[in-house]
Amino acid sequence: MTTILGIETSCDETSAAVVVDGVSIKSNVIASQVDLHARYGGVFPEIASRAHAEQIGAVVKQAMDEAEVTYDQLDAIAVTRGPGLVGSLLVGVNYAKGAALASKKPLIGVNHLEGHIYSLWVSESRREIEFPIVVLIVSGGHTELILMTGHSQYERLGGTLDDAAGEAFDKVGRLLGLPFPGGPNIERAAAGGNPAAYDFPRARLEEPYDFSFSGLKTAVMRAATVAPSAAVRRGEAAGERHAQLRSDVSIADLAASFQRAAVTALVEKTAKAAEMFHATEVFIAGGVSANQTLRQAMRSATELPVRYPPLILCTDNAAMIAAAGYRRFQDGQRDSFSMDVRPTWPLTNKTS
């Protein structure tokens, strides 16, 4: 039995979890900062790191208490090393180092994207998966299409050239006057709308597995707002916030049409990659994988089994970090106490 404490502080969730053998969740405590950031319409880095620093001790203690384990019973401490916000990552990594030093347990730095992928394994309890699989990671910071040829073996097929999928949902949500985060609120608004009301353009890209969402975002802006200023036409963040909604538009129709356009792009390329690389299954992970329209569209687009994590493991959580850490622990990874944070760490096969 291998017991791992996972710690995640890369963005706006302070989370700690205890996971046994990479699949069995003993605890998964998630303190979300959504309310703190809502009034800024996005994650405010300084506020995020301060909130992490305030919460981390209590969150880890709660995870250990709920799991009814002591530090002696742990085999390792896994922590998100990157990618993410530098100040936020530092809080988690420093806390993990302190805990690992004090308890004389190994420290394992985990890639946040790998964590999202392993959120599928936690929920799939020991099911053997035949490789290769195609994985679409869609979150607030990332849109990555990956060919996974074995455990910890990744080949990047493509990704976004501009906004991440979740970022596009968040920006369009803000534009439509919906609360932060935009993703779940757009999904809710879209439920009452007509996805065919607007025919938003599709990005034409040179690379078959790349994505682009900025043109779509601008098209929604054009359809939704009154006489956009030059800044708005350029799609600048400041402009989005100041754009004034037209009184004759339906938020539900705009949300539904945007959602369909975004989902269609994601699904078509993922299904194509799965066919091209003879994948046995398609995985979707990350915050946007909570989206029911995306899940449904993906199931329709391919005959292969489509897997996604349970809702609680779609957005950031430490159980997925402990699960990915377990795999790396089994492979012999042990990080030094001088381990740094990697705010822009790509998903790689190497351990450091």
Query: Which residues lie near ligand KG4 (CB under 6 A)?
Result: 11, 139-141, 166-167, 169-170, 181-184, 187, 286-288, 290-291, 315-316
Dist. CA 290–CA 14, nearest whole Å: 19
Minimum CB–partner distance for residue 289 and Zn ion (Å): 10
Measure the CA–CA gap between 239 and 232, rounded to whole angstroms.
Answer: 4
253 contact, one of ligand KG4, Zn ion, none, CB 5-8 Å limit per kind: none
Binding site partner of 114, from ligand KG4, Zn ion, none, Cβ cut-off 5-8 A by kind: none
| Using rule CB under 5 A, residue 13 touches Zn ion | no
- Reduce the DSSP state of residue 309 to 3 states and report it: coil
Task: Map the footprint of Zn ion across residues 317-336, applying CB under 5 A.
Answer: none
DSSP-derived letter for residue 335 is B
Strand order in the sheet with 281-285: 153-159, 143-150, 133-138, 281-285, 306-307
Q: Could you tell me the maximum CA-CA distance found in the chain, to the nearest angstrom? A: 64
* Cβ-based nearer residue to ligand KG4, 111 or 333: 111
> CA dist 140 to 3, 149, 170, 340, Å?
29, 25, 8, 23
Q: Which does 256 bind (CB under 5 to 8 A by kind): ligand KG4, Zn ion, none?
A: none
Give the residue with the Cβ less far from ligand KG4, 244 or 292: 292
Q: Which is nearer to Zn ion, 243 or 320 (CB)?
A: 320
By beta-carbon proximity to ligand KG4, the closer residue of 163 and 335 is 163
Extract the runs of DSSP E, i.e. beta strands, from 83-140. Answer: 107-111, 133-138
**What is d(CA 317, CA 119) in angstroms, rounded to the nearest whole number?**
9
Smallest distance from ligand KG4 to CB 291, Å: 3
Minimum CB separation of residue 137 from ligand KG4 in Å reads 8
C-alpha 351/C-alpha 335 separation (Å) is: 9
Does 316 bind Zn ion (CB under 5 A)? Our answer is yes
| Minimal distance, residue 217 CB to Zn ion, in Å | 20
State which residue has the least CB distance to Zn ion: 139
Q: Which is nearer to Zn ion, 235 or 343 (CB)?
A: 343
Distance of CA 205 to the CA centre of its chain: 24
CB of 181 to ligand KG4, least distance (A): 4
Which lies closer to Zn ion via its Cβ, residue 294 or residue 304? 294
Q: Of 139, 212, 225, 257, which one interacts with Zn ion (CB under 5 A)?
A: 139
Neighbours of 210 (CB within 10 A): 17
CA triple 114-302-169, angle to 5 deg: 55
Contact 200, 265 (CB under 8 A): no
108 contacts which partner out of ligand KG4, Zn ion, none, CB within 5 to 8 A by kind?
Answer: none
Considering only CA atoms, which of 116, 122, 238 is closest in space to residue 165?
Answer: 116
Q: How far is the CB of 88 from Zn ion (least distance, A)?
A: 12
Residue number, 80 or 225, with CB nearest to ligand KG4: 80
Cα separation of 15 and 55, whole Å?
9
Classify 238 as helix, strand or coil.
helix
Least distance (Å) from ligand KG4 to the CB of residue 167? 6
8 binds Zn ion (CB under 5 A): no
Reference 227, options 243, 247, 207, 239; nearest CA is 243
CB of 225 to ligand KG4, least distance (A): 21
Residue 187 contact partner, candidates Zn ion, ligand KG4, none, CB within 5 to 8 A by sort of partner: ligand KG4
Contact set with Zn ion (CB under 5 A): 139, 316
